[in-house]
Structure 1
Amino acid sequence: MTLGNLRDLYQQVILDHYKKPRHKGKTNPIDRQQRGHNPSCGDTIELTVHLAPPDADNGESRIADVKFEGEGCAIAIASADLMAEALRGKTVAEALEMVQRFQRMMKGEAEFPKELRKLNVMQGVAQFPVRIKCATLSWHTLRAALEPQAVTPEEGYVSNEGEEA
């Protein structure tokens, strides 16, 4: 497959997830919730997470469902939808590792393994530094929702403005 064909495929996947998101809405029940905002372009997102009961053997909770609501560009919405799809069944620790891997991918330092290769569609965004924050907004918001020490600012939104592109 040529580079041009690959780029077209990536654009098609992003547009498909933007136009027909599969994970829009709110989970029921809501175990974790966080709102995120990208002041650079105005994207806003609200993530809700439903956690399955902790495993009897190791006490780890797994993500049963992730949904999102909000407004944003095609990259922000597609990234949130692809993220929500990939997180089902993952432990909280695995999800936080995925956040780090996604951020490294945006810097050209990593990619996802074969079983999560659909997330690699977002690699093309790294070519456009001003759009990286659009792609990472949902991941940044997920980290704030899952990390117990995360503090929500008074306005109720976390921002990815201070993150490196």
Structure 2
Amino acid sequence: MSLDNLRDLYQQVILERYKKPRNKGKTNPIDRYQKGHNPSCGDTIELTLKLDAAGDRIEEVKFDGEGCAISMASADLMAEALRGKKVEEALSMVQRFQAMMRGEDEFPQELRKLNVMQGVAQFPVRIKCANLSWHTLKAALEQAQADVGEFVSNEAID
């Protein structure tokens, strides 16, 4: 695929997921809850997760928030990709996504939809927008329960 075609696909998917997100709202029940904030541009996100009875597999992820097309599209794609994943797999996906934003990795074929976000790496100032939902997910998964805590900030994350 040519670079121009890849750029067009990136823009198309971002706009589609921003305008018509598929995973907006709150899970029922809420097993994990975390708020995230990107002070650089003002993006905010509230992430809720529904886990299986054992608490080690993600059944559903939903988000709500306000922000740019990149942050909201990234959250929507992430939520879809996490369905059915074990918590350990999800934490590994956070690391892989952040590595992808640095141009060091990409997702395998079964998660190829996430690779469309590679286009963000061309705009270093927007990487924090794409990483916000992933940073928030990590904080949510590292909690013991659905505590409503402070916003996590991705300001220190590159």
Aligned to 2:87: 92
Q: Secondary structure at the match of 1:138?
A: helix
For residues 50 and 148 of structure 2, what CA distance do their matches in structure 1 show? 22
Identity of aligned residues (%): 76
Structure 2 unpaired stretches of 5+? none
1:138 to 2:133 alignment: yes
Letter aligned with residue 49 of structure 1:
L
- Higher-Rg structure is 1
Within-5 A mapping of 1:103-122: 103-122=98-117
Q: Secondary structure at the match of 1:23?
A: coil
TM norm structure 2:
0.95
Aligned to 1:15: 15
TM norm structure 1:
0.91
1:33 to 2:33 alignment: yes
CA RMSD of aligned residues (A): 1.7
For residues 100 and 2 of structure 1, what CA distance do their matches in structure 2 show? 27
For residues 2 and 56 of structure 2, what CA distance do their matches in structure 1 show? 42
Structure 1 unpaired stretches of 5+? 55-59
Deviations 1:54-111 (A, max 9, x none): 2xxxxx6210000000000000000000000000000000000000000000000000
Q: C-alpha displacement at 1:153, in angstroms?
A: 10
For residues 2 and 105 of structure 1, what CA distance do their matches in structure 2 show? 19
Question: How many residues align structurally?
Answer: 157
Consecutive aligned runs of 4 or more in structure 1 exceeding 2 Å deviation: none
Tell me if the contact between 2:47 and 2:136 (Cα under 8 Å) persists in the aligned partners.
yes
